[in-house]
Amino acid sequence: MKSTALFLGFFFWLLLLASTSPCFGQITPSADNNKADKIHELVSAYAAYGKFNGAILVAEKGEILYKKGFGFANMEWNIPNETDTRFRLASVSKQFSAMLIMQLVGENKLALDLPISTYLPEYPKEKADKITIHHLLTHTSGTPSYTSFPNYQELMLKSMQPDELLQVFADSTLLFEPGERFSYSNSGYALLGAILEKITKKSYKEVLQEKILNPLGMTHTGFENSNAIIKNRAMGYYKMGSKFTPANYIDMSIAYAAGGLYSSVEDMYRWDQALYTEKLLPQKYLDLIFSKHIAAWGQHYGYGWLVGDSYIGNTKKIIQTIEHDGVINGFNSLIFRIPSERSSIILLNNTGGALLYEMSQAISGILYDKSYDFPKKSIAYDLLKTIKQEGIAVGLSFYESIKDDDDYNLDEREMNDAAYEFLQANELEKGIAILKLNLAAFPNAFNVYDSYGEALMMLGDTTNAIKKYKKSITLNPKNENGIEMLKKLGVEIDRTSLYLLKTEGNWKKEIFTFPLKFAPAIAYKGIEEAHFPNGWRNIDSPEFWSYTFAWNINLDRELSVAELETNLQSYFDGLAKVVNKNKDFVPPSSIAKIYKKDDNNGVPTFAGTIKIFDAFVTNEPMELKVWVEKHFCEEKKQSILVFKFSPKDFEHEIWRTLDAIKLRENKCEK
C-alpha cells in the first residue's frame, strides 16, 4: 500500500552537495573544525543520502551560526532552495495560532477557562459548554481530529470557509470528557481560528498580519491561499524509490489555523528571537504558552508547543527544549529551541519525511561539543540502483553483503517505495523480490503484506493476494485499504473477527506495534491489542481500571515468571511516565509479583498483583490484580499472551466479565 496522509508526507529525496566527503557512524568532537563547518558537513551528508531537501538555520546564543539551502525548491525548473525560500509549515502554524489567542487573552477579550459556547454560540451546545480555550490549546478537548476522518482525502481537495470546516466535525462524538487527557486534534485549532475571527471580526490572515508578521518584519511568512502567487515558494514533492512526483494536491483552506502558514528559515529565526522578548506578549502570558500543561508523547504540551527534555547528540545528557514539528503533503518542518542557551535549530523540507528530529539531535551535539551520529546510507536506495544496473541476482547478493553493515540503514518504507518503483514500471519480478526482503526484515509490518497483495494482484495471482491482504488486516484490523481490496476480490470481512479477543461490543479497541513507544525495553516484535470498557476511567464504576490486552509476539519458548514481572513493570512504568501531569513529581516504580498457576486446558496461566502509579485518574498508587494466559502458536512459532487487570479482588463480580473475555478461535492458525 502506498502511504498517503494529512499533515504527513512521503520520504525524501537525494541530491547534491557535499563540499566535504561525509564521514560515517559516530562522530566525536574535535577542535579541527568550527561548529558551522561541522553542521555543514552533517547536513551535506543528509542531502547527499537523499534524507534532506530544504533549508536550515542554526542560531547559537541569539546569533546566526549557520544557514543554507539544499536541493531544489522547484525540480522542474532546477530552482534551488535558499534561506528565503517559503515552505509550508503545517503544524508549526499552531504556535502562531496560540500566540494570537493569548494576545486576545492579554487584552481581556478571551478567557482561558470559559466554555467556548461563550464565543461560538452556534457550535453544538452540549460540547461547547464543556470545552474551554485551554482545552483547545492543549489538545485536551476530546474533539476528534478531522484529518483522521475516513473521507479526509476527499476533504483536502475542497476549498472551505472556516464555518464550513467546523461543520465537518461539529457533530462528532467527543473522544473523552474535556480535560481528561491529551489527544492531538487539528479540529481544536480550527475552533481556535474560528473564535479568533469571531472576536476580532477580521479574517485569520488579517489578524496574523497585524499582530505578528508586521511587528516582527516577517515578510517571507503568510497564511496561504491556494490560489495565490507566492514569491519564492517551494513546491512539495513525494519520493517513490528514486523518482519524484508533485505531492498530492491539498487546498490549504482545510489546514486553516491548524497548519495553513508558510515561512522561511530566516523569518522563523525572527519569530524565535522575538519569543525571548515582550514585543508580542507580556511575560506572564508567554510563561503560560511555554508551561507544561499536559503529558504528551513522553514530554508535555504547552500552548502550541511541545515542552520537555531532549538528548544532546548521541549522549545521555539532556537539555530542556521547546519545539514543534509539522507534516503536510510534500513538506515537513521543525523548530527546535534551547531557551537556556538562546539557541535554535530551524529545518524546513519540501520532499516530505525528512528525519528532522534526528538531524536536530545531531546538531545539538555539535553545539555542545558532544558526540553525535552521522546519517547512514539507505540500503533501499543502493539496492534499487544495483538491481537497475546489474539485475536481481547481483542485487540480492549485494543486499546480503550490506544488510548488517553499520554504515547502512534498513527502512521498511524506503524498501516498500523501491519495490513500487519496479511495480509501477511493470517489472513485477524485481518489485516482488524487494517485497520478499522487506517481509523477511519486517515480518509484522502490515503495510508490506498489503503491498505484496497488490503486487500479486498485478500478477493475476488472486488466491495468494487474498492471503497477503488477510495477513495485513490480521496485523492491523484498522487497515481500511486491505479490507476494501478484499471486498473487491469478493471476500467480505467481519471486522469484529479481525481482533484477537472477543469482548463486549461497546468496549473500545486499540492496536499498538512493538516495540512500544512508551516501553521500548520490552524487546518483542508483534502487536498489542487493548480492550477497554467504557467505565475504566470512572472511579465510581465497577469497571474502574478493569481492562484487558493481548500481545501477539515472537515468543516461541516458555515464559518465565521473572520475565513476565519485568515486562509488566516496564509497561506500567512507561505508561505512568507518559501520562504523568505533574512535572515536578517522579512516579514510583511499578512492582509486580506473579506466580505460575496450573495449566488450564493446556494453556499456561499466571496470577498475581502489580503495584502501579495511576497517572491516568487518581494520581495515586494503586494495586491491580493480574491474570495472564499464554497461548503458544505451534505453526507460527509465536505466542499470544492475554492479560486481564482489575483493582478488585478475584472474587469480585467484575472478574466474571473479565473471565468471559476469550481468545477468538483459530487465532493460532497460519
Instruction: Give the tens place of pLDDT for each residue, 345-391.
Output: 999 999 988 999 999 999 999 999 999 999 999 999 999 999 999 99
Max CA distance (Å), the chain: 74
Q: Which three cell numbers stand for residue 572?
A: 506500567
Residues 6+ apart with CB under 8 A from 52: 12, 43, 46, 70, 71, 347, 349, 354, 355, 359
For the chain, state the CA radius of gyration: 26
What local confidence, expressed as pLDDT, does residue 670 receive? 58
Residues 6+ apart with CB under 8 A from 380: 241, 410, 411, 414, 415, 417, 418, 434
In a domain, 362, yes or no: no
In a domain, 580, yes or no: yes
The 8-class DSSP code of residue 213 comes to I
Burial 143-179 (b: 16+ CB within 10 A, else e): bbbbbebeebeebbeeebebeebbebbbebebbeebe
What local confidence, expressed as pLDDT, does residue 499 receive? 87
- Same domain for 518 and 640, yes or no, is yes
Would you say residue 22 has pLDDT above 80?
A: no
Minimal CA–CA distance to 272: which of 199, 359, 337, 219?
Answer: 337
Q: Give the model's confidence band at 10: pLDDT under 50 very low, under 70 low, under 90 confident, else very high.
A: very low
- The strand ranges marked E within 313-358 are 318-328, 331-338, 343-349
- CA–CA distance, 84 with 67 (Å, rounded to integer): 10
- Same domain for 506 and 472, yes or no, is no
What share of residues in the chain are helix, strand, coil (percent, to 5)? 35, 25, 40
pLDDT tens track for 54-93: 999 999 999 999 999 999 999 999 999 999 999 999 999 9
What local confidence, expressed as pLDDT, does residue 33 receive? 58
232 φψ region: left (φ > 0), alpha (ψ -120 to 50), beta (else): left
Q: Which three cell numbers stand for residue 662?
A: 476469550
In a domain, 669, yes or no: no
- CA–CA distance, 634 with 490 (Å, rounded to integer): 30
The answer to whether the CB of 548 falls within 8 A of the CB of 531 is yes
pLDDT tens track for 393-445: 999 999 999 999 999 999 999 999 999 999 999 999 999 999 999 999 998 88
- CA–CA distance, 250 with 623 (Å, rounded to integer): 49
Last residue of a domain, one of 481, 498, 515: 498
Interval 488-492 mean pLDDT: 93
First to last CA, the chain: 22
- Same domain for 453 and 422, yes or no, is no
Residue with cell string 537525494:
14
- CA–CA distance, 416 with 342 (Å, rounded to integer): 41
pLDDT tens track for 522-571: 988 888 999 999 889 888 898 999 999 999 998 888 888 999 999 999 99
- Same domain for 546 and 453, yes or no, is no
In a domain, 354, yes or no: no
Helix axes 186-200, 162-169, angle to 10 degrees: 140
What local confidence, expressed as pLDDT, does residue 634 receive? 80
Counting the structural domains of the chain, the total is 4
* Residue 47: its H or E element: helix 35-48
Alpha helices in 311-378, H assignment, sequence order: 356-367
The answer to whether the CB of 550 falls within 8 A of the CB of 663 is yes
What local confidence, expressed as pLDDT, does residue 600 receive? 73
The answer to whether the bond into 587 is cis (omega within 30° of 0) is no
Residues 6+ apart with CB under 8 A from 108: none
Would you say residue 665 has pLDDT above 90?
A: no
* Residue 470: its H or E element: helix 462-475
Would you say residue 228 has pLDDT above 50?
A: yes
In a domain, 26, yes or no: no
- Same domain for 656 and 582, yes or no, is yes
The answer to whether the CB of 530 falls within 8 A of the CB of 507 is no
Residues 6+ apart with CB under 8 A from 41: 18, 20, 22, 23, 33
Read off the pTM: 0.78
- Same domain for 402 and 287, yes or no, is no
- CA–CA distance, 324 with 313 (Å, rounded to integer): 18
Interval 490-508 mean pLDDT: 85
Residue with cell string 491489542:
529
In a domain, 334, yes or no: no
Last residue of a domain, one of 461, 482, 498: 498
CATH value at residue 528: 3.40.1000
Residue with cell string 515536578:
584
Q: Which three cell numbers stand for residue 290?
A: 511555554
* Residue 424: its H or E element: helix 412-424
Is the pLDDT higher at 200 or at 540?
A: 200
Minimal CA–CA distance to 445: which of 468, 420, 421?
Answer: 468
- Same domain for 570 and 607, yes or no, is yes
Least confident of 53-67, 267-281, 469-483: 469-483
DSSP symbols for 160-211: --HHHHHHHHTTSPPSS-TTS-----HHHHHHHHHHHHHHHTS-HHHHHIII
Last residue of a domain, one of 498, 523, 542: 498
Residue 421 CA: distances (Å) to CA of 48, 99, 240, 403, 416: 20, 44, 6, 20, 9
Burial 208-221 (b: 16+ CB within 10 A, else e): bbebbbeebebebb
What local confidence, expressed as pLDDT, does residue 31 receive? 42
- Same domain for 586 and 458, yes or no, is no
The answer to whether the CB of 116 falls within 8 A of the CB of 128 is yes
- Same domain for 117 and 206, yes or no, is yes
Q: Which three cell numbers stand for residue 370?
A: 558532544
pLDDT tens track for 597-645: 877 777 899 999 999 999 888 888 999 999 999 998 887 778 999 999 9
Q: Give the model's confidence band at 8: pLDDT under 50 very low, under 70 low, under 90 confident, else very high.
A: very low
pLDDT tens track for 103-152: 999 999 999 999 999 999 999 999 999 999 999 999 999 999 999 898 99
The 8-class DSSP code of residue 512 comes to E
- Same domain for 563 and 652, yes or no, is yes
Least confident of 483-497, 505-519, 587-601: 505-519
Residues 253, 258, 259, 260: what is their CA dihedral angle, to the nearest 10 degrees? 40
In a domain, 216, yes or no: yes
Question: Which residues constitute the domain of residue 426?
Answer: 376-439
- Same domain for 96 and 117, yes or no, is yes
Residues 87, 88, 91, 96: what is their CA dihedral angle, to the nearest 10 degrees? 80
The 10 Å Cβ neighbour count of residue 604 is: 18
CATH value at residue 109: 3.40.710.10
- CA–CA distance, 416 with 241 (Å, rounded to integer): 8
Burial 353-372 (b: 16+ CB within 10 A, else e): bbbbeebbbbbbbbbbebbb
- Same domain for 482 and 523, yes or no, is no
Residues 6+ apart with CB under 8 A from 245: 237, 238
In a domain, 285, yes or no: yes
